[in-house]
Structure 1
Amino acid sequence: MASFFYIRTTKAFRRSAYGLAMAIPLLAVSAQAQPSNKENKFGLGYYYEGDLFAEGTSSQTNNENDAPKIDKPSKKQVKDNSSKEAVDEQRVLVSEVIIQGLEGHPQQEKLELAAYDAMRLRPRSRVTRKELKLALDSIYATGWFSGVRIEPVNGPLGVQLIVRVQPNPVLTKVELEPADLKLSADVIARIFKNDYGRTLNLKNLQVRMKQLRSWYVKNGYSLARITGPNRVTSNGLVQLKVIEGIVSGIEVQFLNKEGDDLDEKGEKIVGKTKEWVISREISIKSGDVFNRKQLEEDIKRIYETSLFSDVKVTIKPVTGEPGKITILLGITEQSTGSLSGGLGYSQSQGVFGQIGLQDTNLLGRSWSSSLNLTYGEYGGLANFTFSDPWIKGDVHRTSYRTSLFLSREIPQVFRSRSSGSIRGVSDYYDGGSLYAYDIKSDAHLQGKFESVIAASGSNPEISWFEYQGDSVALQKKGGSFVFSRPLNGGDPYKKVPWSAFAGVSLQSVKPIDYSGNSRPYGVPTSSIKDGKALDKEIICVAFDCAKENNLFGIRTGATYNNLDNPKNPTSGNFLTIATEQFVSIGDNSPTFNRARASYTHFVPVNWLKLTKGCRPKKGEKYDCAQAIGFQVKAGTTIGQLPPYEAFCLGGSNSVRGWNSCDLAVGRSFGEASVEYRFPIWNIISGELFVDGGSDLGSQASVPGKPGKLLDKPGSGFSLGTGLIVTTPVGPLRLEAASKDLDGDWRFNLGVGWKF
């Protein structure tokens, strides 16, 4: 028997990829079944018409000789309970596959190929009812069609399968409901730009819906859900429904250390902290769309208050309101009050003891207050401070800090480790002579005097002074307050690098000895020889040689901070610019302006790979706090400068090869440091540094020239190295630094990085 192979659609296929046809036995009888009303999950129906396996007489032909012969089950088998399964498994031969419904469609050929390839039924193949159903489902699963029917028809060469398809419309627009969404029209247009003007494919639509969902997740809207399409119109409009996840409210719940919200008596735990202290740190408000990233930043801010040891977040759906949730914050408070004490050493105070009382959550309002008492070898300090990190109700997040203090200390301006110090003189008379004479000495050959007044009355042409020989100390008492705010434009949750501050200070300064006696004058110990000293080397300790100075200052400034880590930065910048204007408020009250600036820059490097974090394996996290830091500082003073307000150079936070204030005492100054920091092991890090500083030739312009009298060099540099141990109180520094390159080394022990 001759065989003919062909496949037909509503237009003759011109491509060999489409065609196979063959002569097969034709089905003798056929009947039509009612179309199924089954719908897919998108609400679009598909249909299956005709039953290759039903008994009866086909309306297509009445000629029994034209019908193909197949093996039919007996009547007994049909009536049997298992007859349906037998019919389902019965196979028949297919002669032709004809696809209809795409006539004139702009993508006719593409869709015909898609339908034909999907069904996997080919002429000359034997199929069962189940396989035919799978073929129908496969065509629909391509996503190109909103309706599919398969009709078995006896053709001239045998049983034909006529596949009637209804293509989806050409996509013209995608609408999301509701209209007010975080997802912008630009994002929708970008995602669907390659689909507009083409036949809608439901599989591809699912991919695009996942891309929309990915946009939400990427931007922190993790509760967002996209469903649909709710509607597909004939002109290509597709409507999708979006549930973004709306915050219905925020609840605060206090927990104990075990995480329970009830105490031992079964009563609700009441926290010390006011709830508004917590809720004001939460930028997500009722009615906002939930954003995971935003909430994480909020929780981070709550931790940064240092009031809480743990914060648990629970997301609860609102009963009866789909798409709405409640945020429940489980707060565990930590102890905020402390009593501390200890012993220490500093260059300004020598060996000292300290006791402090502090509470960082006063009255549960996040206020911080502290009282510190320090008494040391060279002085003492009593200091009370109060601060509010965020004034309630202020959208600019303005903070406030005030302090009251009383101190006695030996100023480093009048001391030198190698050249002695400036000692106290209780009275002085300038007679214009080359030398000034101590009234208690007989070097002037006129006998001893009881007072400077008596000596000057006896011989007014000679300069006289009353030398006490004790260290000059300054007693300061006063207070200050300062307001600070980030330049956030009224958004308290906006991270901005710039902040500004302004404040006022008022203090009384008295030059005294340890017993509290007035010492308005001073003389270098190296200048006194045989009861006399050069007249020009008798200096005023305070402004205008007064027994008391009153300083009233107005301070303003700004900072820029984009450091990656406030404790141990490896990249970023920190800039501070400040000026303080002192205004005279009476006699012996100077007027002057002091301005200073500091700039720090960090560059990350990975030169030494001593720790595992600096040489991570594939898939491990890079953890190597290694950087080069640069710092430049400068300042100047204009006006009536009291000598004790001059800039000091040298020390652990200046040029480290010199003791505190041993390098220079200047009206102006400039400093620069370069420091390489690298981790060594676990909590231990190392550093290599170079420091340099100069008074810019201004020591001679400081009243009394204390730096010159004590032979302070005015400029210098140091090379050094150090070890840093990370502790709960901060980094501890042990450093060794050279003084220039003369072989003289100095060791520093301090808390915190230099910058």
Structure 2
Amino acid sequence: MRSILWLSQLSIVLWAIPCLASPMPQPVAQTNGSSEPTLQVVEVLVVDPEGKSLPPDLEKTAYDALPIRPGAIVNRSEVEAATNALFATGFFVNVQAQPENTPLGIRLRFIAQSNPPLKAIVTENSQVLDQGIKDSKGQVETKDQVIQRLFGEQFNKTINLLTLQESVKALEKFYQDNGYVLAQVADIQSSPDGTVTLVIAEGVIENIKVSFLNEEGKTEDKDGKPIPGRTREFIITRELTTKPGTVLNRDTIQSDLQRVFGLGIFEDVNVSLNPGEDTKQVVVTINVKERSTGSISLAAGLSSASGLFGGFSFQQTNLGGNNQKVGFDVQVGERELLFDLNFTDPWLAGDPFKTSFTANVFSRRLFSYIFDTPPTAPAGIGVGESKEETPRENRLGAGISFSRPLGNGNSASLGLRFEQVRISDVSGGTVATDGLGNPLSFSGNGEDSLAVAQFAYATDRRNDPLQPTTGSLFRVATEQAFVFGGDSSLFNRLRANYSFYVPVQLLNFTPGPQALAFNIQGGTILGDFPPYEAFRIGGTNSVRGYDEGRIGSGKSFAILSAEYRFPIFSILNGVFFADYGTDLGTGNQVLGSPAVARGKPGSGLGYGAGVRIRSPLGSIRVDYGIAEDGNTQFSFGIGEKF
């Protein structure tokens, strides 16, 4: 049923054969041992149904196609073959062979009705083509442009079925090249006025289903029952931009599968296609294999900071089958109680804007990289009885945040955090100043309370968020904080970060994408702020080659980074990098000047090389950095630095 035209050809050929039964001369010979009677042809004519000659070009094509010439001795089968040869040119919709007696022999007349001139191409069931198709470069080609490009040279010329068929195949290839892998022209219809109608089956999605896989990759158990899943189906289907009623697109469904896999609760995600109730439509089934999403662990130990301690951890990343994440970590020691309770819903149910929500309550004890004691620090600047200990930041608080994608690579987040910060020595005692009398808190007594409102905005134009080679990423954030409880103050922290990527081809270890990556970031604080809130410079995510915070801490900062990224072999990429960071001369504008008092330089350059190892957890980053002062450092992380 590919074409009504082709079906009509076959029926006409079969109908035309009996015409040979008209009165004919007596057979003159037998040829090739055939039992069929043969006739001698003295004249061969090809005319239209009115008996007129065909247009010159068409007439030449017809005579060139005929295998019978005047003087030939032919039988019925050979006349049939000649009739089919005329059909095979593609120009004729009806051909009949009519023999006529003459005194000298048979005049063989072929009455050939040609196809009309092509006047228009009309499509049916072509919703994608009607809307225009975007190519790999992002350019939209309209339906009229596609028709003109593929069929334009045939307009106002006699329709040739072979040429038309070639253009139809080119149209199907155009669909395929743009990801519409099920699209095909199901039927071709023509009318006497020269209008050709293409009935297209684009691959419309009738329904979307979800199936769960067991360890053997089966969707049914031994009794033929579907494998049950813990995850609610709407958690999967809401990630799909592919919807019932739309046309299946390979690139779109691949992106959908990546988003579903990116939820982090599945070991495997794939798709299967089955015919729908309407045979021109398809049922899409998303097959998922769930992974273990919960964990519990216990720990015990002895440390100088906590003494004897015990710990408990509980994590669940698919709470109630809703992809909600909850975690609880607690550590109980002789001198402290630390905990972190957090909850995240990555997509609030019923929200059409994909808003996520996070809440946490925490009690943390952190090594302070603002008040650490590097080799350059003067003796006695630490805390504790020895005056050599690095202070600890004890933070007790709670926070909530909301984030939302805004479309076209843009996103925004808004949050609120309350915390009490207490500076202590290793044994847990509160300290107000370091060994040289410099204040360690805003209040002057070692304890501050803060309320912080946060807002962030990002624009992502990268071609690949994991391994970008082109595009850019821009992020800006602001925090409005209020310090209260004793002396009070308002301060605002501003920070911006911009990365861009340039594709290159410098080394040729192995085929794969290469890029130069550049990053510039900076920030400043407006108003009076606690010293532990200063920007710290140096470390794994700052200037590599330096320990954390060893360059300095300031009221403002700037960091410049450049990387050359290249493949080494299939799962291993290489990187050459250089980082430069500076406090812009603002180290002495921090309360107590902690960086200046400890002899930190305030600026520094680091450079080196590293590798990126692809793993199920993401890209594992291993860098070896060399600081300009000769210090070296190995640093580790997940994902690229920027």
With the length of structure 1 as denominator, give the TM-score of the two structures. Answer: 0.74
Q: What is the match of residue 719 of structure 1?
A: 607
Match status 1:48 vs 2:7: no
**Kindly tell me: are residues 198 and 377 of structure 1, through their superposed partners in 2, closer, same or farther at Cα, counting changes over 3 Å?**
farther
Q: What is the match of residue 513 of structure 1?
A: 425
Measured in 2, the distance between the counterparts of 1:161 and 1:106 equals 15
**Kindly tell me: are residues 728 and 235 of structure 1, through their superposed partners in 2, closer, same or farther at Cα, counting changes over 3 Å?**
closer
Q: What one-letter code is carried by the residue in structure 1 that aligns with 2:563?
A: E
Q: What one-letter code is carried by the residue in structure 2 that aligns with 1:549?
A: D
Q: What is the match of residue 483 of structure 1?
A: 402
**Kindly tell me: are residues 100 and 470 of structure 1, through their superposed partners in 2, closer, same or farther at Cα, counting changes over 3 Å?**
closer
Superposition pairs of residues 90-105 of structure 1, within 5 angstroms: 90-101=37-48
Superposition pairs of residues 265-280 of structure 1, within 5 angstroms: 267-280=225-238
Measured in 2, the distance between the counterparts of 1:263 and 1:604 equals 49
Instruction: Give 1:504's match in structure 2, choosing from 394, 406, 416.
Output: 416
1:314-338, Cα deviation, whole Å (9 max, x unpaired): 322234x332332233332111113
**Kindly tell me: are residues 276 and 57 of structure 1, through their superposed partners in 2, closer, same or farther at Cα, counting changes over 3 Å?**
closer
1:344-393, Cα deviation, whole Å (9 max, x unpaired): 9xxx99xx998643211111100112234579999995322221122222
Q: What is the match of residue 108 of structure 2?
A: 161
Measured in 2, the distance between the counterparts of 1:687 and 1:377 equals 45
What runs of 5+ residues in structure 1 fail to find an aligned partner? 1-37, 59-66, 74-83, 426-465, 489-495, 525-537, 615-621
Measured in 2, the distance between the counterparts of 1:236 and 1:295 equals 39
Q: Is the 8 A contact 1:503 1:555 kept in 2?
A: yes
How far is the alpha carbon of 1:69 from its aligned partner? 7.9
Q: Is the 8 A contact 2:126 2:201 kept in 1?
A: no
Instruction: Give 1:739's match in structure 2, choosing from 611, 627, 634.
Output: 627
Question: SS in structure 2 opposite 1:164?
Answer: strand
Instruction: Give 2:193's match in structure 1, choosing from 232, 235, 245.
Output: 235
Q: What is the match of residue 124 of structure 1?
A: 71
1:651-675, Cα deviation, whole Å (9 max, x unpaired): 2222223222121111001111222
**Kindly tell me: are residues 258 and 418 of structure 1, through their superposed partners in 2, closer, same or farther at Cα, counting changes over 3 Å?**
same
Superposition pairs of residues 45-444 of structure 1, within 5 angstroms: 45-46=12-13, 48=16, 70-71=28-29, 86-88=34-36, 90-101=37-48, 108-155=55-102, 157-178=104-125, 182-183=129-130, 185-186=143-144, 187-230=146-189, 232-263=190-221, 267-319=225-277, 321-339=278-296, 356-373=313-330, 382-420=339-377, 422-424=381-383
**Kindly tell me: are residues 422 and 482 of structure 1, through their superposed partners in 2, closer, same or farther at Cα, counting changes over 3 Å?**
farther
Question: SS in structure 1 opposite 2:16?
Answer: coil
Measured in 1, the distance between the counterparts of 2:71 and 2:398 equals 102
Q: What is the match of residue 629 of structure 1?
A: 517
Question: SS in structure 1 opposite 2:547?
Answer: coil
Q: What is the match of residue 460 of structure 1?
A: none
Which shows bigger deviation, 594-603 or 221-230?
221-230
Q: What one-letter code is carried by the residue in structure 2 that aligns with 1:45?
A: I
Superposition pairs of residues 610-689 of structure 1, within 5 angstroms: 610=509, 614=510, 622=511, 624=512, 626-680=514-568, 683-689=571-577
Measured in 2, the distance between the counterparts of 1:754 and 1:179 equals 46
**What is the percentage of aligned positions where both structures have the same residue?**
33
How far is the alpha carbon of 1:133 from its aligned partner? 0.5
Instruction: Give 1:580's match in structure 2, choosing from 479, 482, 487.
Output: 479
Q: Is the 8 A contact 1:50 1:151 kept in 2?
A: no
Measured in 2, the distance between the counterparts of 1:212 and 1:724 equals 43
**Kindly tell me: are residues 297 and 378 of structure 1, through their superposed partners in 2, closer, same or farther at Cα, counting changes over 3 Å?**
farther
Q: Is the 8 A contact 1:39 1:45 kept in 2?
A: no
Q: What one-letter code is carried by the residue in structure 2 that aligns with 1:754?
A: K
Q: Is the 8 A contact 2:296 2:314 kept in 1?
A: yes
Which shows bigger deviation, 690-699 or 171-180?
171-180
Measured in 2, the distance between the counterparts of 1:57 and 1:633 equals 97
Question: SS in structure 2 opposite 1:174?
Answer: strand
1:548-571, Cα deviation, whole Å (9 max, x unpaired): 212111111212223344444444
Question: SS in structure 1 opposite 2:541?
Answer: coil
Instruction: Give 2:634's match in structure 1, choosing from 715, 739, 748.
Output: 748
Measured in 2, the distance between the counterparts of 1:296 and 1:39 equals 38
Q: Is the 8 A contact 2:118 2:195 kept in 1?
A: yes
What runs of 5+ residues in structure 2 fail to find an aligned partner? 132-142
Q: What is the match of residue 579 of structure 2?
A: 691
How far is the alpha carbon of 1:726 from its aligned partner? 4.8
How far is the alpha carbon of 1:509 from its aligned partner? 0.9
How large is the RMSD of aligned CA atoms in angstroms?
Answer: 3.6
Question: SS in structure 2 opposite 1:193?
Answer: helix
Question: SS in structure 2 opposite 1:316?
Answer: strand
Question: SS in structure 2 opposite 1:130?
Answer: helix
- Which one has the largest radius of gyration? 1
Question: SS in structure 2 opposite 1:697?
Answer: coil
Measured in 2, the distance between the counterparts of 1:377 and 1:630 equals 47
Measured in 2, the distance between the counterparts of 1:683 and 1:235 equals 61
Measured in 1, the distance between the counterparts of 2:467 and 2:181 equals 32
Q: Kindly tell me the number of residue pairs found equivalent between the two proteins.
A: 617
